[in-house]
């Protein structure tokens, strides 16, 4: 705006200078009258132009402010059913007794029986890892007292199978009763049993995010049509967190990229459900 006013004043000086250069001799009173009228006219024009520009800018700002308050939040859901591509099966067995040498020898027999069982199921040596032997002397445990009521020594060992043939491991897991029939005490509890893992999540992410965004846009279009508006640009977007759950779990199962909820652990199921919810805010325009 200051530059505009200076431009107007420069034009006034130019007009007066041009009249003097042309050699026209104006009467003193006329020159004084014109010298008073020209600045007033120029200043009035500049003020009018400034008011017009200021009004246009203010109107644009008000319009943008109103548009910023008009938006809709929608969610786009995508789910894919996938098959696990690897299986991890730790088999832990233990023996107890008061003679350490006898307990250790029995544990070695158990290990041989477990490896024989795996070989019978078509599991190769490359898929098997034998863990270290863990020996517990309950009398050496300062927090356990004398422990006169039970065996002194506990020998425990874990043999782990890692394979990409999930169907083979699933069939072998259905025959674990053969180990019990052979007198092998298999330790249960947390971390035991077959874990099925899906490692292809990164390959699915781009397509699933694109599809989730499209679904969110479709929801926004339906909302806008019902409200007599049109969908504008994106105000904000959040792709959400990918979750992996058991394929037969409820829709609320699964939290985190490798976690799950509901009644069944996702690690116990070969078939899994990958899920992502994209949340997008769209501006609404008339």
Instruction: Please report, for the domain that includes residue 182, its CATH number.
Output: 3.30.70.2970
Cβ neighbours for 121, distance < 8 A, ≥ 6 positions apart: 168, 171, 172, 175
Tokens of 169: 């491991």
> Looking at the 3D structure of the chain, how many domains does it have?
3
Same domain, 98 and 121: yes
Same domain, 272 and 213: yes
Same domain, 203 and 191: no
- For residues 77 and 280, give the distance between their C-alpha atoms in angstroms, rounded to a whole number: 11
Structural domain boundaries enclosing 203: 71-83+199-285
Same domain, 91 and 192: yes
Name the band, by pLDDT with cuts 50, 70 and 90, for residue 22.
very low
- Asked if 243 and 227 count as a contact pair (C-beta separation under 8 A), the reply is no
Same domain, 189 and 207: no
Q: Give Rg (Cα) of the chain.
A: 41
Answer with the one of 12, 38, 68 that is the final residue of a domain.
Answer: 68
Predicted pLDDT of residue 286: 74
Residue 194 CB-half CA count within 13 A:
23
Alpha helices per DSSP H over the chain: 2-21, 28-68, 100-120, 166-173, 177-181, 201-227
Q: What is the pLDDT of residues 209-241, one digit of tens each?
A: 999 999 999 999 998 888 888 998 898 989 889
User: What CATH number did the domain enclosing 217 receive?
Assistant: 3.30.110.170
């Amino acid at each position: 705006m200051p530059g505009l006013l200076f431009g107007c004043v420069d034009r006034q000086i130019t007009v007066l200078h041009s009249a003097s250069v042309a050699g026209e001799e104006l009467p003193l009173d006329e020159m004084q009258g014109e010298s008073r009228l020209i600045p007033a006219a120029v200043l009035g024009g500049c003020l009018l132009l400034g008011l017009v520009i200021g009004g246009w800018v203010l109107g644009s700002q008000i319009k943008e402010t109103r548009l910023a308050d008009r938006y809709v939040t929608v969610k786009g859901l995508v789910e894919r059913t996938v098959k696990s591509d690897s299986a991890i099966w730790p088999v832990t067995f233990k023996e107890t007794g008061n003679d350490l040498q006898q307990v250790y020898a029995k544990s070695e027999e158990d290990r041989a029986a477990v490896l024989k069982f795996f070989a019978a199921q078509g599991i190769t040596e490359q898929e098997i890892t034998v863990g270290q032997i863990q020996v517990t002397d309950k009398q050496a445990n300062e927090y356990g007292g004398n422990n006169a009521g039970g065996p002194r020594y506990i020998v425990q060992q874990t043999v782990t199978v890692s394979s990409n043939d999930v169907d083979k491991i699933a069939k072998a897991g259905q025959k674990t009763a053969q180990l019990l029939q052979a007198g092998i005490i298999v330790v249960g509890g947390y971390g035991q049993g077959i874990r099925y893992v899906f490692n292809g999540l990164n390959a699915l992410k781009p397509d699933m995010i694109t599809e989730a965004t499209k679904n969110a846009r479709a929801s926004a279009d339906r909302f806008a049509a019902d409200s007599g508006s049109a969908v504008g640009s994106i105000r904000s977007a959040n792709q959400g967190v990918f979750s992996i759950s058991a394929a037969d779990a409820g829709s609320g199962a699964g939290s985190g990229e490798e976690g799950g909820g509901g009644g069944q652990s996702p690690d116990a199921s070969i078939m899994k459900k990958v899920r992502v919810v994209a949340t997008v805010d769209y501006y609404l325009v008339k």
